[in-house]
Structure formats: C-alpha cells, structure tokens
Amino acid sequence: MKVESTVLKGVLIIETDCFGDNRGWFTESYNKERFAKYGLDTDFVQDNHSYSTQKGVLRGIHFQNNPKAQSKLVRCTKGKILDVVVDLRKGSDTYKKWIAVELSEQNRKQIFIPKGYGHGFVTLTDNVELQYKVDEYYSKECDRSIKYNDPELGLIGVLKILFYRRRMAMHHILKIAIAILVLKCLLQASMGSLVMMWY
C-alpha cells in the first residue's frame, strides 16, 4: 500500500495494492490493521454512497461541526471526479488553503480527510459514484456547507457547469476561491487520469 502526504496536515492520498489477471482485478479497499500501520487507526461507523448523473455536478463543500465532526475515507468507484479538501481549522498554518485531487475508477486512489476539513467534488464524467467511510454519524444539527457563489469567492463568471444546489440555504460563507479550481479541472480533464493538486 502506498500512502502520500499532502500540504494539509493529516490529509493523505492512498493507493491500496491491486492484483489483476485476465479476469479483472482485486483490491482490499480498506483493511483496519493495515491502515493502522500508517497511523490511520480510525473507527469508521458509517458508509455513504452517492450517485451523480451528469458531468459538471458540484457537491459541497460539506463538513460537520463539533461535537459531530467527521473524518472521511473517500474513493470514486465509477467515473471520475476532482475532489477538493479545504482546511477549516482556525489557527492552522494552512487555514483556508485547499488541495484538489483527481479520483477515478481507473486510478483507484482514495483520500483520507481528518476532522476539521471541508470536502466537496465536481464530476468530470457522467454517471459518477462516490463511496466514503465516516467515523461519526450524520447530524442534521451539525451539518454545514460553504456557499460556492458568495462574492468573496471571486467567481468572475468562470463557472459554466451545471450546479445542483439543494442545500444552498444552509451554506456558510468562507473566502475560498473554488471557482478557479473548477475551471482548471474542466480544462484539464482531457489530460488523462492524473493526480492534480493546486494551491
């Protein structure tokens, strides 16, 4: 198993060992004992599975406040996404900084997101399925999101994708420039299955 650190403390990109032959392939997407050897001794309590029908669907950026903050282990099992993680820990050296990583059914990469970070993604293909583990149950009272279209985000008219915004009324405002990130992901989607990180 390969575990890669990022500039955001505790946020890790994970590639599990994959074994294949003419029939296909097999991988252990999660093994508690093996993950613990890399410091990921997380007690996951819930598995989530989302489906997005079209390319260009934007979800997030979501998080839960204390006392129901969540760590997440995220993977894309169908299609391709650009996954975004934002540091929401006040006082952190990387507060309001973000990274973006391409996850797909082809590269089988996963990303571990500790408590204190926001998470969202934009789909790069149609018919996308995302599966992720969390270590705290969903809490409506603690559920929060970042509003993508606040003037302070600097959208400058670059978003020309279809947004699904059913939860916009709940979104909290933060100064995070996700607009440029989404534009870049759309422009570079044809470059192949690369891990992309923009800061």
In contact, 113 and 72? CB cutoff 8 Å: yes
Q: Look up residue 120 and give its two tokens.
A: 């969202």
Q: Look up residue 66 and give its two tokens.
A: 């204390």
Q: Which of 62, 117, 148, 171 is catalytic?
A: 62
d(CA 182, CA 47): 27
Q: Which of 117, 119, 132, 148 is catalytic?
A: 132
For this structure, is 62 an active site residue? yes
For this structure, is 199 an active site residue? no
Closest residue by Cα to residue 89 from 199, 174, 195? 174
Q: What are the Cα distances from residue 49, in Å, to 27, 95, 128, 187, 198?
A: 19, 28, 10, 27, 26
> What residues are paired with 27 via a beta bridge?
18
d(CA 20, CA 191): 25
At 63 the three-state DSSP class reads strand
Q: What is the set of active-site residues?
A: 62, 132
